[in-house]
A and B are shown apart, each in its own frame.
Chain A
Amino acid sequence: MEKLQKTLDEIKYLVAKFTATGKCKKIKIMEVCGTHTMSIARYGLAQLLPPEIDLISGPGCPVCVTPSKEIDNIIGIIRKYKLTVFTFGDIIKVPGTFSSLSAEKMSGAEIRICYSPSDSIIFAEQNPGKKVMFIAIGFETTIPLTSVIIKDALKKKLKNFFVFSTHRIIPPALDALLSDKNVQVNGLLLPGHVSAIIGLEPYGFITSKYNIPAVISGFGPDDILISIKMILEQLASGRPVIENSYTGVVKNDGNPYAFSMINDVFAPVDSEWRGLGIIPLSGMALKDKYSVFDARKSFPVKVSSLPEPAGCECGEILKGIKTPTGCKLFAVSCRPDNPVGPCMVSSEGTCAAYFKYLRRK
């Protein structure tokens, strides 16, 4: 706490200095990554900061930004083609508009939660009579893993292995968010492990186009406070740059080999994000040379989605326009045991974090 207090004192000094310039009364800092959201809530960091600083959560939880229609589509495929499905635990409770993967599993669908994407390809190899689909979800941290198994599937000439890609990438989403006039952000805390892959360069537009400070941060409470301090220093100096405070893990050029694996297997396509709409070139689809493994092409379905639940504010929350406490359903009809929207389902969802740690600010 002593260490935190020193950083907090420096933050208070910088806030006073910045607000004295009269440029703005409130300083809004968006944390882009769901793990940061959790950490901020766990340690009550929002409450420790001066009242002039508002921490707002962004679109950094892959499960939360996946539209219900996409879940519907996956369920449609599973019902029609009777596949063995592998995926990460976080997505299975997310409601589509008429079911969820966990409900399908309860009614007998073969859905397995995996620790590593490799589990799916090993199972496919050992069970040539079964059609296996891996539901690939995640940002740049996870996309290289999916790339490795798809390249492996090609090498092994697997005929029973498929990938349903819901992969999305972060920079185009930040670009779309910052260009939205309703979104007011003075600084960005950039995700640590996405940056471990992509490095600093892809974020260049944040300063060149929007003139906003941005700092790549680690996940401990002191890491986050130091990164906030660095954002304030940039605001005070009026010279925003992309900085990295997670230097023990994030290299300036990221992991170029992993980045090249992504670009070998996937190509960016327009993709819809919950709350943010269609963002150009923000989704990742399998390139033509790997299209035999593309579940979207191999298993066509027509699915009629139902309307989204009334009153759910996940979309506005993912843009940082509303906080969970501003949603009428929050903690009333939408609770972790009976979630209405994905931000309450995912362990890294903003609503789940607010609920669990009674975060009020």
Chain B
Amino acid sequence: MCLAIPARVIKINKNIAEIESLGVKKKIDISLLPEVKAGDFVIVHAGFAIQIIDSSEALITEGYWKEYFAETGDEYEEMFIAEYPEKDDVQ
């Protein structure tokens, strides 16, 4: 329930940021992190960035979450992966 996954902030427009996470792009809300800038790594919980994190932490945990979603195969997968458009669709 309290899952939060790492993402890199690409672009910011007011309270919405475009991010890349687990290889896919998505828009999220950054209202809870007024100081965040493009290039920062954050963790994302249910569509909101909740904390800025170390880039090394993002790299370490990314593989772990990929495995987690591949295996748990429940609503979380829907929440974090299925709703993410495939990369090709974005471009």
Which residues does A use to contact B, with CB under 8 Å? 33-35, 38-39, 42, 61-63, 88-90, 113, 115-119, 137-139, 141-142, 144-145, 148, 191-194, 196-197, 218-220, 248-251, 255, 257-258, 261, 346-348
A248→B31 contact, CB < 8 A:
no
Residues of A within 8 A of B74 (CB): 89, 347
Q: Mark B56-91, 1 if CB is under 8 A from A, else 0.
A: 110011001000100110111011000100000000
- When A38-B72, A220-B60, A347-B72 are in contact, do A148 and B31 touch as well, CB less than 8 Å? yes
Identify which of B2, B48, B53, B83 gathers the most chain A CB atoms within 10 Å of its CB.
B2
- When A255-B32, A348-B1 are in contact, do A142 and B75 touch as well, CB less than 8 Å? no
A249→B51 contact, CB < 8 A:
yes
Residues of B within 8 A of A251 (CB): 51
A249, B45: Cα distance in complex, Å: 13
A89→B3 contact, CB < 8 A:
no
B86 CB to nearest chain A CB (Å): 16
Residues of A within 8 A of B2 (CB): 33-35, 62, 138-139, 141-142, 191-194
Which residue of B has the minimal Cβ distance to A348? B1
A258, B46: Cα distance in complex, Å: 14
Besides A89-B78, A196-B4, 19 more A-B contacts (Cβ < 8 Å) are: A35-B2, A63-B1, A88-B75, A88-B79, A113-B75, A113-B78, A115-B78, A116-B29, A119-B47, A148-B48, A193-B3, A193-B45, A219-B64, A248-B53, A248-B54, A248-B57, A250-B51, A255-B33, A347-B76
A249→B53 contact, CB < 8 A:
yes
A148 CB to nearest chain B CB (Å): 5
B43 at the interface (CB under 8 A from A): yes
B79→A145 contact, CB < 8 A:
no
Residues of B within 8 A of A33 (CB): 2
Which residue of B has the minimal Cβ distance to A140? B2
- When A34-B1, A90-B75, A249-B57 are in contact, do A117 and B64 touch as well, CB less than 8 Å? no
Interface residues of B in 4-32 (CB under 8 A from A): 4, 28-29, 31-32
A141→B61 contact, CB < 8 A:
no
A190 CB to nearest chain B CB (Å): 12
A347, B50: Cα distance in complex, Å: 22
Query: Which one of B45, B46, B60 contacts A248 once the chains associate, using CB atoms below 8 Å?
Result: B60
A119, B83: Cα distance in complex, Å: 13
- When A61-B1, A249-B53 are in contact, do A118 and B47 touch as well, CB less than 8 Å? yes
The B interface is mostly helix, strand or loop, or mixed, namely mixed
Which residue of B has the minimal Cβ distance to A357? B71
Which residue of B has the minimal Cβ distance to A39? B68
A88→B33 contact, CB < 8 A:
no
B46→A62 contact, CB < 8 A:
no
Give 5 A-B contacts (CB < 8 Å), ordered by A residue: A33-B2, A35-B1, A88-B46, A117-B46, A197-B51
Which residue of A has the minimal Cβ distance to B44? A116
Which residue of B has the minimal Cβ distance to A248? B57
Residues of B within 8 A of A194 (CB): 2
A220 CB to nearest chain B CB (Å): 5
A63, B2: Cα distance in complex, Å: 11
A116, B15: Cα distance in complex, Å: 14
A137, B45: Cα distance in complex, Å: 13
Residues of A within 8 A of B45 (CB): 141-142, 145, 193
A90, B74: Cα distance in complex, Å: 9
Query: Which one of A145, A258, A346 contacts B1 once the chains associate, using CB atoms below 8 Å?
Result: A346
Residues of B within 8 A of A144 (CB): 32, 48, 50
A258, B50: Cα distance in complex, Å: 8
A61, B1: Cα distance in complex, Å: 7
Which residue of A has the minimal Cβ distance to B16? A118
Identify which of A61, A261, A347 gathers the most chain B CB atoms within 10 Å of its CB.
A347
Residues of A within 8 A of B71 (CB): 42
A118, B83: Cα distance in complex, Å: 15
B61→A258 contact, CB < 8 A:
no
B50 CB to nearest chain A CB (Å): 6
- When A116-B48, A118-B47, A257-B32 are in contact, do A89 and B75 touch as well, CB less than 8 Å? yes
B78 CB to nearest chain A CB (Å): 7
